[in-house]
Amino acid sequence: MFDRLQKPFLTVETGEAYQPLRLTYDLFDMASLVKLLDHTDCVSKNPTANTWNLFWKGECDELHFESLDSFRRNTEHPVRLGSLMIKDDKFYINLPSFKRACLAVPFFNNLISNDIARIHHVDFINKVFAIDERLPHGFTELFKEEELDRILQQRVSDYHEIQELCEQAPTAEEAFNILKEFTSAEAKKRLPYAERYVFDMDPTIDPDIIFLSFYIFLRGRELVAIKRWLGESNYSVVDMIDETVEQVFGGMDLDIID
């Protein structure tokens, strides 16, 4: 524990923990996307074909990072927020932190129309890194497609199984207890090293609700990773939920129904 406090985890320029992730978009109109990116001020084309850098300037200038109240931005050398790439009929956005992803998703949703490209999923890492730790080399090393898909499909299968049990329960109370036990057991599980979050871009749902859910999901994963870094090796999502509820309601003299 003391050693971890003496060796803080790696952070990016804008203050957040370094936790690399990749946003993947279904691409429907490559020519229109390329034209759009080439005419976007915060995006800069690279010499390599179909790759760009995303900078904290222009259309991205108003993005806010809470941890940077005293950060002095240099307009001559704007911070590089991430990189963009088109490959194999997919559009990818590579980012080094959860916070940047939570800001990037709604930003690009407003910038890019759904008939050009639409967000599908994000792959991310459930850990933080030491300052002197060897970092994974590229996203190929970080994210194994088969493993990520296996974890996702297992969770979908588990969800459908519980849904069926709830539907077959003789009473609403028993169905609630089945769901409660499943949720509690899932929250206590140790998170995998790498994980995938799939977006449900239902046109009937307010996008702000979808993006808020994404933020809450990633924020919880980030807190778990940091707590484990600080020595709480058994800290889980359920511990994070309990602490959050206590912080929000504990000082309000409210009785939270179990």
Residue-by-residue DSSP string for 117-139 = EEEEEEEEES---BTTSPPP-HH
Yes or no: say if 215 and 102 are a contact pair by the CB < 8 Å rule: yes
* C-alpha span between 33 and 31 (Å, rounded): 5
Alpha carbon 67 to its chain's center = 18
Farthest-apart Cα atoms in the chain, separation:
67
Looking at residue 62, its pLDDT comes to 84
| Cβ atoms of residues 54 and 46 within 8 Å | no
Average pLDDT, the chain: 80
pTM of the model as a whole: 0.76
User: Contact, 28 vs 113, CB < 8 A?
Assistant: no
**What's CA 12's distance to the chain center, in Å?**
16
Q: Looking at this protein, which amino acid is placed at residue 14? A: T
229 contact partners, CB below 8 Å, separation of at least 6: 4, 9, 127, 128
CA torsion sign for 104, 109, 115, 121 is positive
Asked whether residue 126 carries a pLDDT value surpassing 80, the answer given is: yes
Say if residue 11's pLDDT is above 70. yes
* Residues 103-114: tens digit of each pLDDT: 999 999 999 999
Least confident span in 9-13, 20-24, 207-211: 9-13
**Who has greater pLDDT, 102 or 14?**
102
- Return the domain boundaries, the chain: 2-65+75-143+191-251
Q: What is the pLDDT of residue 143?
A: 64
Q: What single letter denotes the amino acid at residue 90?
A: K
Report how far Cα 73 is from the mean position of its chain's Cα atoms.
Answer: 25
- pLDDT tens track for 154-188: 666 766 777 777 778 788 888 777 777 776 666 66
Identify the helix (H) or strand (E) that includes residue 225. Answer: helix 207-229
pLDDT for 253 beyond 60: no
Residue 256 — very low, low, confident or very high, per pLDDT cuts 50/70/90?
very low
Extract long-range pairs of 185-190: CB within 8 Å, 24+ residues apart: 186/158, 186/237, 187/236, 187/237, 187/238, 187/241, 188/236, 188/237, 188/238, 189/236, 189/237, 190/236
pLDDT tens per residue, range 45-69: 999 889 999 999 999 988 877 655 5
Supply the pLDDT for residue 252.
Answer: 44
Give dist(CA 43, CA 35) in Å, integer.
11
